[in-house]
Amino acid sequence: MKNLFVAILVSFLAAQALANTPAQGLAIEQVMTPDEMQKTGVASLNATQRQVLNDWLNRYTLMVVGLAKKQSPSTTSAVPAARNSCSPAIESTISGDIEGWSGDTIFKLDNGQIWQQAAYDYTYFYEYRPDVTIYQTSAGCRMKVEDETETVLVKRIK
């Protein structure tokens, strides 16, 4: 269970680190909800304090990703085979355009895989050939579309 948690955390952090250029960086607002920011006091930080926190978050993320790369293959094989469809994380590009998702949306990827929305959710946006990352969570596989904050639960159909 611990290895599964580590794999999920590393997949999420790696996706976030890869989705942001060094100039943009990872911001605390991307990993904490407004409620979490309020309860922890992060919401009350001034601009300088927030920047110091974001700088630390970026250094920490790079350190965790670096440690994950050094992790031996035997620790990642602890994830049950039935859940390996998105572990390790899958990075690809949507073939064509995407207009969000609404119920049972089908996602065709450039790597040949086809995924379908696995639980009802509705989000609208438009992007042409965005990069996506599909990663394992305790609820199943989630897909993160580049430049979008919402994620969607998906299942692989091909």
Strand partners for 135: 142
Q: What is the pLDDT of residues 63-110, one digit of tens each?
A: 777 766 666 454 444 444 444 578 889 999 999 999 999 988 999 999
pLDDT at 130 over 90: yes
Across the range 118-139, mean pLDDT stands at 93
Q: Which of 2-16, 17-31, 50-64 has the highest mean pLDDT?
A: 50-64
CA angle 112, 96, 25 (to 5 degrees): 90
Rounded CA-CA distance 85/115 in Å is 11
- Where in the chain are the domains? 2-76, 82-156
Out of 27-36, 59-68, 74-83, 109-118, the most confident range is 109-118
pLDDT at position 21? 40
